[in-house]
Amino acid sequence: MLALNNYLILSAILFSIGTIGVLVRRNAIVIFMCIELMLNAVNLTLISFSHYLGSIDGQVFVFFIMTVAAAEAAVGLALMIAFYKNRESIDVEDVNMLKL
Amino acid sequence: MESIFFLIVAAVAVLSSILVVTCKNPINSALSLVMTFFCLATLYVTLDAPFMAVTQVMVYAGAIMVLIVFVIMLLNIRVEAVKRGSHAVFAGGAIGLFLLFQTVWFLGRGTLSGATGTMDRAQVVKVGHIELIGKALFTDFLLPFEITSILLLAAIVGAVILAKRKI
């Protein structure tokens, strides 16, 4: 059996790549996809802990994370469509309407 | 054998997630993200969680990614014209690498402890994975499950109100 740390380090790498994507990219939809990537890295952590601790609870948490991700996808994409209607762009640099 | 399989799947997952960040065209990013999701589903199978793998493919690679691709095509987004300045790329990369270094450092020092349960491969095969999850979901986690339904209701109403032109 593989050591737990293999899975945790893979998950850490995926999470860091997602973080870099959120910080570096300007397209709001790509940022959104990077957030999904980070959520999936956390899911991998939870499932591997669930396997190595012999408990089903971690997998139930993954269900709730998936639900939150689905709700986030629906609301986030609706926000992007509303923003695109106003500004003809989904570049995050253009999101400055609350600025004085 | 197991570790070679893990290495291959992990390498594909990391490569395709790097493509998600580096691709200029959002459609290519979305397709690489689907690839990452499939790799993670494969890892879930090796971790004795076959039902989670199926859910991952159906919910993430199916529903959520179709929604994202649909929005990308609906908005007809052009390829990103102006890249972010090199300072921002450098700062973002440095923060991400620092996060990775920190996590790996802590992982190297930590050990697995805490109460262990009784679930193992034999039980998953004997009882069935869906039965185990269903039992936990509808007994120990009944209240969170009900709250989740309210969250989904709020998301439906919010999405409709945000995307509608006139209410």
pLDDT for B78: 67
Mean pLDDT on B81-108: 85
Task: Give A3's DSSP letter.
Answer: -
The H or E element spanning position B72 is helix B65-75
Q: What's the pLDDT score for residue B102?
A: 93
Domains of chain A in start order, with CATH, are 4-91 (1.10.287.3510)
- Cβ within 8 Å, pair A30-B20: yes
Q: Strand, helix or coil at A54?
A: coil
Please name every residue paired with A23 in a beta bridge, in sequence order, or none if there are none. none
What is the pLDDT averaged over residues A4-25? Answer: 93
- Checking if the pLDDT of B81 tops 60, the result is no
- Output the pLDDT for position B64: 92
A63: which chain B residues are within 8 Å (Cβ-Cβ)? 55, 133, 137
The minimal CB distance from A51 to the residues B47, B77, B97 is found for B47
pLDDT digits (tens, 9 = 90+) for A67-99: 999 999 999 999 998 888 888 888 888 888 887
**pLDDT at site B167:** 65
Chain segment B27-39, per-residue pLDDT in tens: 999 999 999 999 9
Task: Determine which of B60, B86, B127 to mutate to test the interface with A (most A C-beta atoms within 10 Å).
Answer: B60
How far apart (Å, rounded) are the C-alpha atoms in residues B144 and B138?
Answer: 10
Is the complex ipTM higher than 0.90?
yes
| pLDDT, mean of residues B66-78 | 86
Percentage of the residues of chain B whose pLDDT score is greater than 90 = 62
Q: What was the pLDDT predicted at B79?
A: 64
Rounded to two decimals, the pTM is 0.91
